[in-house]
Amino acid sequence: LTEPDPWYGLPIATGLLLYANVEVSVGRRALSGETSSKSNVVKLLKDGFQSLAIFMPAFMAAQPSGVQLYLGTSMLFTLVQSSLLRNDAVREAVGLPSVNAKPVEMQDGEYVKEFMKLSQERQEAKAKSGFVLGEGVTQFGAAISVPRQGSRRKSSII
């Protein structure tokens, strides 16, 4: 596994698998919608990755066989996963909408109104008690300082 493949079978297989992955994942029916599959950026990326797939055997020929096996199995798994996610029966079994399903229409500003309502409730709670649960909480180990406000209270946990 530490030596390159002397018959070049693994580098050629990884190139073919990458090409197949790009074709299946960014093919005619993109999972992210019809508009995104027809955009110029997607076409450019697809062409770039397919070009990379053609030259992949040359890049991979000097790599250890273990690396090539890893890439090959990863690409094979990705190819199977992408193919399965395009199947409506599989999508239904895992709770995803059909590939051809139209997006659900949103009410204009529905999420903004909900956010504003929650923000107002938060402000009212802060005005009432001077404290909002979760305010000033940061990731463990973050190097920031949070000014203390108010007086010390006894813990409600004990």
Rounded CA gap, 60 and 12, in Å? Answer: 8
Rounded CA gap, 25 and 78, in Å? Answer: 9
Instruction: Assign 28 to helix, strand or coil.
Output: coil
- Whether 91 contacts 85, CB under 8 Å: yes
Query: How far is residue 76 from each of residues 24, 70, 72, 136, measured CA to CA in Å?
Result: 12, 10, 6, 45
Rounded CA gap, 11 and 89, in Å? Answer: 34
Tokens standing for 74?
A: 């990863």
Please give, one letter per residue, the 3-state secondary structure of 103-135.
CCCCCCCHHHHHHHHHHHHHHHHHHHHCCCCCC
φ/ψ region of 153 (left if φ > 0, alpha if ψ in -120 to 50, else beta) reads beta
pLDDT (0 to 100) of residue 84: 92
Rounded CA gap, 109 and 56, in Å? Answer: 47
Give pLDDT tens digits along the chain (158 positions). 899 999 999 999 999 999 999 988 887 666 655 555 567 888 888 889 999 999 999 999 999 999 999 999 999 999 999 999 888 899 999 998 888 877 667 666 777 888 888 888 888 888 887 766 666 555 555 555 555 555 666 666 65
pLDDT (0 to 100) of residue 110: 79
Element (H, E) at 15: helix 9-25
- Whether 14 contacts 56, CB under 8 Å: yes
